A and B are shown apart, each in its own frame.
Chain A
Amino acid sequence: MSHFSRLWRWQVGNFRREAAEGREVGTDAPGRDALRDGGHAMKRYSVFAIAREALRHHAGWERAWASPQPKASYDAIIVGAGGHGLATAYYLGKNYGITNVAILEKGWLGGGNTGRNTTIIRSNYLQDSSAAIYEKARSLYETLSQDLNYNVMFSPRGVMMLAQTHHEVRGYLRTAHANKLQGVETEFITPQRVKELCPILNIDGPRYPVLGALWQARGGTGRHDAVAWGYARACSAMGMDIIQQCEVTGVRSEGGKVVGVDTTKGYIGTKKLGIVVAGHSGQLAEMAGFRLPIEAVALQALVSEPIKPCMDIVVMANTVHGYMSQSDKGEMVIGGGTDGFNNYTQRGSFHHIEETLRALIETFPIISRLKMLRQWGGIVDMTGDRSPIISKTPLGNCFINCGWGTGGFKAIPGSGWAMAELMAKGEPGPLAAEFDMWRFKEGRFIDESVAAGVAH
């Protein structure tokens, strides 16, 4: 589906929804409550707003979010304005009414892994606790554009995970059964159906023939930057302060409880602290006085030159370790492997590009003559069992959300939902309960490292 027709559908959807709710179509409805509480004025985006602005030289568009200076103190501070941090703040406000919140970002909003992933959304996990949180996230993505009044271009085009060895066939059959019990809609499909869904796939490869696939029809992709921008705009409208270029340099505590953070813009007091910084979780944890079972490594991805539409689903080939989808611009978006050693360089190793493409060419012969345009890396935080941590910490009123490793984008809404509940109540809800940081000591692993395959 083209970008324009998706935009149009979304606008029509807004129109229908507003009409159904009996509101005057195209008015500034959601901003009103926030305005009363001193929030950033937010005009509602709609097809009528576009028409209105078209007639007045687009002079009426406003900044999507405010850029305030920090206040002396807040009810809650979230470190990290990526998808997970902003989603946490959004659900703190939306679900728990906590809006005296600052989100501190050392760089720019959404400039870390949120803007560096391959935008895949799926929830076909083996373990119950993983399936629950990823499916929560996926289901929130379904209506996120309407909820945020910001087009995140969620495209449930279907995600296919190829089984190219007999081990994988058994593994995915098991996952399909587990998903059935968990209420996650997936199915194991035959090689013929794989070929129907994705004609450019070579299913008869000599080394790794396609023996079937795990298919999640409601998985897909989203516009990663828009997820951060949409949450940021909604947070700002609720009166939260998103403070960019404000690096946290220290965590202050009294009597075993956090009281504030030192930043490059001065000291800021807080009653609660949420650390949601992905690759730099280890550094923040050290400031807060504890250690994490996490190692940071670079994960990289690349895109090809744009070509005509040839593939309208997401395909993951975990045995050869590559995954691919086609962006709306026509580029083939390709995810590669992680570096095998700790690093914070955000660029990845050169030879991984060759490895990834070499592996994919057998399965996708058409990419053999494609030029690759851009390559980039992000720093992923890998835990011992390859599952995230959403947890209280040894420091009182300090909470951490990290360890999403190589698969965080798909989880953003669910992660924010669970983290907000943890921060608001001080205790984890059902979604986060299994993901505490003490599971490593107690041997309660949520072991997706052998369950989900490598690309995860």
Chain B
Amino acid sequence: MLLIECPCCGVKAEETELSPGYEAHLKRFGPGSTDEEFEAYMFARKNPKGVHFERWRHAYGCGKWFLAARCTATLEVFGTYPAQVGEPPADIIEKIKARRPDWKGYK
């Protein structure tokens, strides 16, 4: 069972208190984009076995969306951070690198 700390209210919430929201940092494409861009935004997913960045909502708590870095192979949670960023913050990247030295980095 996952324990994830909500960066908005500071509660260390257990899995049933949260709603998962799948891949984070998607770049949105709408009207005016090409079919390829829209398909990539809508359907193509990184789906890594290892370090993954994803959206969560503290559904039965403060109700806020936030982002988490987690390992999909071991369920280890590296850290969480507010959703108002375009890419993972430096301190999260450092935490992941400390735990996964062979990680290729965020791209």
Contact = CB atoms under 8 A, between A and B. Distances in A.
B47 A282 contact: yes
Given A282-B46, A292-B44, A292-B47, 8 more contacts: A282-B47, A291-B40, A341-B2, A341-B70, A345-B74, A383-B43, A440-B39, A441-B35
A351 interface: yes
Contact of A351 (B16, B72, B74): B16
Given A340-B19, A351-B1, A351-B16, A345 B43 contact: no
A384 B45 CA distance: 10
Interface string A265-303: 000000000000000101100000001111110000000
Interface string B9-29: 000000110011011000000
Contacts of B1: 349-351
Contacts of A295: 22-23, 45, 47
B49 A280 contact: yes
Among B22, B39, B54, B73, max chain A CB count under 10 A is at B39
A339 B15 CA distance: 11
Given A293-B45, A295-B22, A440-B42, A351 B15 contact: yes
Contacts of B102: none
Contacts of A339: 20
Interface residues on A, range: 20 to 34
A404 to B, nearest CB: 15
Contacts of B91: none
Interface in A184-220: none
5 contacts: A282-B45, A282-B46, A282-B48, A294-B45, A342-B52
A8 interface: no
Interface in A312-362: 339-345, 349-351
B43 A349 contact: no
Contacts of B20: 339-341
A440 B44 CA distance: 9
B47 A342 contact: yes
Among A280, A383, A441, max chain B CB count under 10 A is at A441
Interface in B31-70: 35-36, 38-40, 42-49, 52, 54, 70
B15 A349 contact: yes
Contact of A344 (B19, B40, B73): B73
B75 interface: yes
Interface residues on B, range: 20 to 34
Contacts of A293: 39, 43-45
A17 B83 CA distance: 66
A293 B15 CA distance: 26
Contacts of A283: 49
A291 B44 contact: yes
Contact of A342 (B38, B42, B54): B54
Interface string A140-155: 0000000000000000
Contacts of A282: 45-49
Interface in A123-178: none
B3 to A, nearest CB: 12
Contact of B42 (A291, A349, A384): A384
Given A351-B16, A440-B39, A440-B42, A341 B22 contact: yes
Contact of A440 (B22, B43, B47, B74): B43
B75 A343 contact: yes
Nearest to A294: B47
Among B36, B48, B52, max chain A CB count under 10 A is at B48
A292 to B, nearest CB: 7
A342 B19 contact: no
B100 to A, nearest CB: 15
A84 to B, nearest CB: 19
A296 B39 CA distance: 18
A126 to B, nearest CB: 21
Contacts of A351: 1, 15-16
Nearest to A342: B72
A342 B53 CA distance: 10
Nearest to B73: A344
| CB-based closest 5 A-B pairs | A293-B43, A282-B47, A340-B20, A341-B20, A441-B39
A400 to B, nearest CB: 14
Nearest to B55: A341
Contacts of B23: 295, 342
B24 to A, nearest CB: 11
Contacts of A342: 22-23, 47-48, 52, 54, 72
B4 to A, nearest CB: 10
Contacts of B36: 441
Contacts of B45: 282, 291-295
Contacts of A296: 47, 49, 72
A344 B49 CA distance: 7
B47 to A, nearest CB: 4
